[in-house]
Amino acid sequence: MGNNQTEKAFEEKRLAQTISLAEEQLKQAKEAADKKKSEIIEAKKDVRENTEHGITSLYTSDGFEALVELSQYINPVTDKIIDYEEEEHKILLLEKMIKSPYFARIDFKFDDEDEFEKIYIGRSSLRKNSYQEMYVYDWRSPIASVFYRFMTGEAFYDAPCGRVTGELNLKRQYEIKNGTLEYFFDSDVQIVDEFLRQLLSQNTTAKMKAIVETIQHEQDVVIRDMENDLLMVQGVAGSGKTSIALHRAAYLMYQGLQTKLSANNIMIISPNSIFEQYISNVLPELGEDNVISSVFEDILSELLNGRKIQSRNDFLENLIVNSKYKEISRNSIEFKTSSFFREILDQFLIDIPRQWIEFEDVYYEGKCVVSGQILKDKILGRPETPLGIKLEQLEDYILEQIFGTGKGRGHKEEKNLIKQEIQKFIKIDIVELYKILFSNEAYFYSLLQNSNPSQNIKNIWKYTKENLEADSLYYDDAIAIAYLYLKIYGTNKYKNIKQVVIDEAQDYYPLQYEIFNFLFSNAKFTILGDMKQTLAKKEDISFYEQIQKILNKKKSSLIMLDKSFRCTNEILNFSLKFIEQSSQIKSFNRNGDSPKVYIADNSEIFIDEIVKEIKLCQEKGFQSICLICKTEKNSTYLFNKIKHKLDIQLIKNGSVSDLQGVFILPVYMSKGLEFDTVLICDADSQNYHDEDDKNLLYVACTRALHKLSLFCENEVSPLI
């Protein structure tokens, strides 16, 4: 079918019918919501009028009966609120649908039928009523996968009842804005690529957008995977890993209608708070509640009871900046997060009750009620029970030996005195325990099972000892202490999490995956990374084997995404000089300006060139202009030099800001983000000169969609 007047008239009529149906259902939903709102108000009034006596009686002898009475009134209110919220969600979806009800259509003939059925696909579904025809299919429905995976010809999709086969003879895409059909076209490979090329040529937005209209075949495979307990995705820069992860979360929630999986059962581990904010609109845009999102250092802080620890960004600053701490910082985290150090920690855990807890005899009224040796023996038994739980049970055992098990026996004051006395070996301070490893040198080396440790380990031990004595809890030590905490106490906080998505997975270390395995023991995992974008360490494809071994899931798979959709050909080709095996990365083939390198003789010319480039980008209409520096120190220096010349914001550790306009940030905070234009503003030989710096330059360059420029003062980096 061509885009002729007959077809246009048909499509406009179909669109009008769809919008009319959505408007009718919207009217019904609003009426239902108003009715439910009135019912809630009335029900709350009943609670106030009929349970006043019951509420005041909650703390009397009749409190239980009052509580039962109260619940009889409150439970119906809660149910009505849930119903009202469902109607409000329905209203939101219908309002979005009226503006743009669908983006695609496929004509599909099932093998056992004679005629092709027109299947319209949108961001959410619309049916005439519970039993009549489906007007619009949700993009996550099984049949919609045909649109993403096949061109015309034989096709199939997997449904709950099994594989469904048939023939596809039309793929049509639409541009519908505010209820008006702008245009449509019938797809083949060449046209689809041109449509995507036009979309990619547009300016980016302050927050990541949904990509349901342009999901590629290989991306759809990842999004819809329900077979694997551990799905690992190795994707090159610009391959859409983060978008895939979020659309996968939306797909899992759609499937959750059958599997009882909701937004509070999914956790996304983000690299930093800026990234969290950047992705925050995608799921709501798809009509879903936002899932739980967390940054790893926030998890650390929770496990360590809010104790102040060094942020990941500050630690990365130490790993990247050219200073005397760079090598020792890197050696330290690589050692403390390795499987070798985990074995040391495991042996230390065995030794804690044997030699690092001083069990004392417990006296009551001048008599020894229970000896320290008996207490120690009780702790050393039942090795399958976590140490923390056994110590808590020890308190009950001691009180029982003194006061017996009868209700009310013993005086409260006496019990409190006994509890205070035994707290010194019942209560564990995890940080103080950890300090033992780096205060007792002979014991530490004995755990290495090597009487002659390397100079590197000696340096790490001394470096850590000095930090801990200064009461500084560095990021790598916090990871090790969190591992000890989980082994000693365990946690049930995340037991409801059934799916975990970890983005920028290559930047985490083995011990962090051990922690993920503890925290999310009931969950399936989606792991997304790119070994070429690893920060401050060396990784290759075997890293996924380590993850697989640690998480130890029944069924796992590694999927490779080798096509970049973000950068123009010129930017991607320039970026590839910084990594090895660049031939494995395919470009989507979008052309643009070649990157330029500006070398200034002095700081005044250097700043003027940057300001001139920013203004040129603004004149071209670019919405996000990002100045990337190697470190936060460099970013702050440049910001202070340039802030009086134009409107610009500095993004650093702890910043929460929309990525719009002109801004400066360090390279490690740009991970996972993209910008219309990127200016790398410290591309000199002092900042970028070794193998590690190549990865940083690759990350920085591949953030740019349309334009890339590099600036340096005096000598340009030899890597460029």
User: Is 241 annotated in some ligand binding site?
Assistant: yes
User: Is 236 annotated in some ligand binding site?
Assistant: yes
Contact 614, 679 (CB under 8 A): yes
Buried b (16+ CB within 10 A) or exposed e, 394-413: beeebbeebbeeeeeeeeee
The closest of 265, 119, 138 to 210, measured between CA atoms, is 138
What is the phi/psi pair of residue 595, to 5°? Answer: -60, 145
Give the distance from CA 28 to its chain's centroid.
Answer: 37
User: Is 410 annotated in some ligand binding site?
Assistant: no
User: Is 529 annotated in some ligand binding site?
Assistant: no
Strands (E), 252-381: 266-270, 292-295, 362-364, 367-370
Which residues fall within 8 angstroms of residue 194, CB to CB, at 6 or more apart?
A: none
The number of CA neighbours under 13 Å toward the Cβ of 580 is 6
Could you tell me the end-to-end alpha-carbon distance of the chain, in angstroms, rounded to an integer? 51
What is the phi/psi pair of residue 519, to 5°? Answer: -65, -40
Contact 515, 337 (CB under 8 A): no
In the DSSP assignment, the letter for residue 355 is I
Give the tokens for residue 188.
């083949």
Strands 266-270 and 499-502: parallel
User: Is 442 annotated in some ligand binding site?
Assistant: no
**Element housing 247 (H / E):** helix 241-259
Which residues fall within 8 angstroms of residue 524, CB to CB, at 6 or more apart?
A: 228, 229, 230, 231, 498, 499, 500, 553
In the block, which residue shows the tokens 């547009």?
Answer: 202
User: Is 388 annotated in some ligand binding site?
Assistant: no
User: Is 239 annotated in some ligand binding site?
Assistant: yes
| Sheet with 556-561, edge to edge strand ranges | 292-295, 266-270, 499-502, 524-529, 230-235, 556-561
Q: Measuring CA to CA, how many Å separate 60 from each of 66, 149, 655?
A: 9, 66, 50
Query: With the C-alpha atoms ordered 17, 19, 23, 28, is the resulting torsion angle positive or negative?
Result: positive
User: Is 685 annotated in some ligand binding site?
Assistant: no
Known binding-site residue numbers for ATP:
235-242
Known binding-site residue numbers:
235-242
